[in-house]
Amino acid sequence: MRLALDEAERAARNGDVPVGAIVLAPDGSTVLASGHNEREAAHDPTAHAELLALRRAAAALGQWRLADCTLVVTLEPCTMCAGAIQQSRIDRLVYGARDEKAGAAGSLWDVVRDRRLNHRPEVVEGVLAEECARLLTAFFRDR
């Protein structure tokens, strides 16, 4: 999560909402890819940290299926990112701060664990939650 927080700080420095993401290889310690929000920088509404990290991890592995990989993200994924997580076949989602307004991994919705879908990753929430939330709070307070 500390690496994801570093990514989130990069987003904030560039004027984007400070969310960072890391994809870990099946060994659980090798970083395959990272990303941070780039919506403002790229003028792209889909440039969320999770999507960028998932795309880069798939490119690094040479396949779209990210089975046995872990996605670590500082903020609970939105519905768009939750759908991409489900589609990528990530086995484990670890996130920091809950998103009561748009979270789709347990807060507002639970897309990633919807029993109607063919893949449901393990979800670990609340890792360094206060630190992740502080970064977001400071960003919006200063805007």
Q: What does the pLDDT look like over 6-48, one tens digit per residue?
A: 999 999 999 999 999 999 999 999 999 999 999 999 999 999 9
Token code pair at residue 98: 């809950």
The answer to whether 7 and 14 have CB atoms below 8 angstroms apart is no
**What pLDDT does 143 receive?**
78
List phi, psi (to 5°) of 5.
-65, -40
Q: What is the largest CA-CA distance in the chain?
A: 42
**What pLDDT does 31 receive?**
98
Please state, in angstroms and rounded to a whole number, the distance separating the CA atoms of residues 51 and 118: 20
**What pLDDT does 5 receive?**
98
**What pLDDT does 142 receive?**
84
Helices and strands, counts by H and E, the chain: 5, 5
Tens digits of per-residue pLDDT, 89-143?
999 999 999 999 999 999 999 999 999 999 999 999 999 999 999 999 999 998 7
Please state, in angstroms and rounded to a whole number, the distance separating the CA atoms of residues 70 and 82: 13
- The answer on whether 48 is annotated among ligand-binding residues is yes
Catalytic amino acids?
A: 50
Q: Reduced to 3 states, what is the DSSP secondary structure of residue 57?
A: helix
In this structure, CATH architecture of domain 1-137: 3-Layer(aba) Sandwich (3.40)
Amino acid letter for position 129: A
**What pLDDT does 120 receive?**
94
